[in-house]
Chains A and B, each alone.
Chain A
């Protein structure tokens, strides 16, 4: 009996420890392949060169255009999702009836369950043609449509995390504001939002991290042309799209081109890792304020 108990505990422990092995595996895979990449391409070229053309005859290995493309689509997405998501959170908390909140919240969650390849289709075949009616000269592939659709996708992420943060603010603060004769709007922006600011910031950081790593929407709708630009109307390429592009093609294993996807991958990993840990840190540092 004792022995089998120990064996079972050992197996359970092993399952838990596998999660650490996954992290080690990710870091090891990304590092080992990129190290052999950086033996050929210097880190300074990677960071300062302004062109990314590993698949052309004249190869240039500057990650900046891919990073710019990624940040551009992310910025558009956040510009859409933050005001809408935060407004929804405030509205559901301060204005809406409890019943409405009950109905709307799960409906919004549906937005987060739709596969991203479906959003990509939407961006390419509905949003881009629609926007082209108002913006002449807008290319068929562009950062704007992809970013807008990505923003719609992450609305529930910002709205539900922010809503949790706002409803965690003690009742007494809200009641004090109403007691002073504040309107709901004044209470929201004067008291609730500042008091919940750390939770709201966390929701935005997680949303940014999600947008940076998003792949299929941008692979379908934003184009495959690495370009160092802030113009959202022209085709660009994100880090994730580049990885997909190489994976779809016939790039020989162990070639330098093949290793570029790991160099791109580690860049992406560094971004999301930093963002995620920043959010944990903020959560830990500021959350217990009212407990």
Chain B
């Protein structure tokens, strides 16, 4: 075999290996989803969705967990959305190229890399203890808001950046003030991108268990929360709790709850991808 034949053979071999690597992750994902559905689908029915937790696996449901997840989603959105967008607008439209803004930038990149459990410790000390919110929905939502703030800020900045200079110049030429330009031109034009970022951030928040466990969210809550000051549990914590039990029946419950959690996560991501595609198709500056 000549050298070039050998090289071509190696090239082919790597190509096969490349295809193998590309698909192994997807195959594992498929096996996994299949396994979850097989184990969990028989447990999913109306009773499972509307029952309170119970010591008996066959009677336990996820009502408190998904209601808690919904509460957390709404509260986190209310807190993180205005804050993150405002910070993004400031950095992109108002911030001058000085030391503060470059420090802010490094700082936000750093925050994005802080493990979620550290945010839990922050929330435990500041919200649960200093502000005396206890292990409440509000403390949980505040903690998760800080966690997803960097994601929202970064995606907001990117969305605003894609609005061309000429739109701003046109607005200024008509006598609009800086804020009027931002509010009536820049934000509406970049809203699709901002929304995509928020939804992606929320899909991250929905799956988080660690920081909420640290701030004291409970595994067992015998009632559905009715105000932001109530104690709560969420789907990931319920899944964690059931997974930690030795009995097979609880593992089936965990699989069923995972199906519900994955449906929520994939739906949020699907909406985000849809919005992004629509945005890209619609606007051609």
Residues of chain A whose beta carbon lies under 8 Å from any beta carbon of chain B: 1, 4-5, 8-9, 11-13, 15-20, 22-23, 25-26, 29-30, 33, 83-84, 87-88, 90-92, 95-96, 104, 106-108, 110-111, 113-118, 120-122, 124-126, 152, 155-156, 181, 183-186, 188, 206, 209, 212-216, 219-220, 240, 243-244, 247-248, 253, 261-262, 265, 268-269, 272-273, 275-277, 280
- Contacts A5-B177, A12-B86, A19-B149; A88 near B261 (Cβ below 8 A): no
* A126 partner residues in chain B, CB cutoff 8 A: 31-32, 35
Q: CA separation between A211 and B8, bound complex, in Å?
A: 37
Contact A276 B10 (CB under 8 A): no
B152 to chain A, nearest CB (A): 11
B227-264 with Cβ < 8 A to chain A: 236, 239-240, 243-244, 251, 254-255, 258, 261-262
Q: CA separation between A13 and B35, bound complex, in Å?
A: 49
B4 to chain A, nearest CB (A): 8
Residue of A nearest to B13 (CB): A185
Is B49 on the interface with A (CB-CB < 8 A)?
no
Is B59 on the interface with A (CB-CB < 8 A)?
no
Q: CA separation between A26 and B124, bound complex, in Å?
A: 11
Q: Which of B18, B90, B119 has the most A CB atoms < 10 Å from its CB?
A: B18
Q: CA separation between A272 and B109, bound complex, in Å?
A: 12
B52 to chain A, nearest CB (A): 21
B50-90 with Cβ < 8 A to chain A: 82-84, 86-87, 89-90
* B129 partner residues in chain A, CB cutoff 8 A: 253
B190 to chain A, nearest CB (A): 15
Contact A118 B239 (CB under 8 A): yes
Contact B11 A220 (CB under 8 A): no
* A273 partner residues in chain B, CB cutoff 8 A: 110, 113-114
Contact A22 B146 (CB under 8 A): yes
Residue of B nearest to A4 (CB): B179
* B21 partner residues in chain A, CB cutoff 8 A: 83-84, 87-88, 91
Contact A16 B90 (CB under 8 A): yes
Contact A8 B35 (CB under 8 A): no
Residue of A nearest to B6 (CB): A183
Contact B114 A152 (CB under 8 A): no
A266 to chain B, nearest CB (A): 9
Contact A220 B116 (CB under 8 A): no
- Contacts A115-B261, A215-B210, A244-B210; A183 near B10 (Cβ below 8 A): yes
Contact B244 A220 (CB under 8 A): yes
* A1 partner residues in chain B, CB cutoff 8 A: 177
A16 to chain B, nearest CB (A): 4
- In the complex, given contacts A152-B25, A240-B115, A244-B210, what are 11 additional A-B residue pairs having Cβ atoms less than 8 angstroms apart? A19-B153, A88-B22, A96-B22, A121-B243, A122-B36, A185-B10, A188-B14, A247-B214, A248-B219, A269-B115, A276-B110
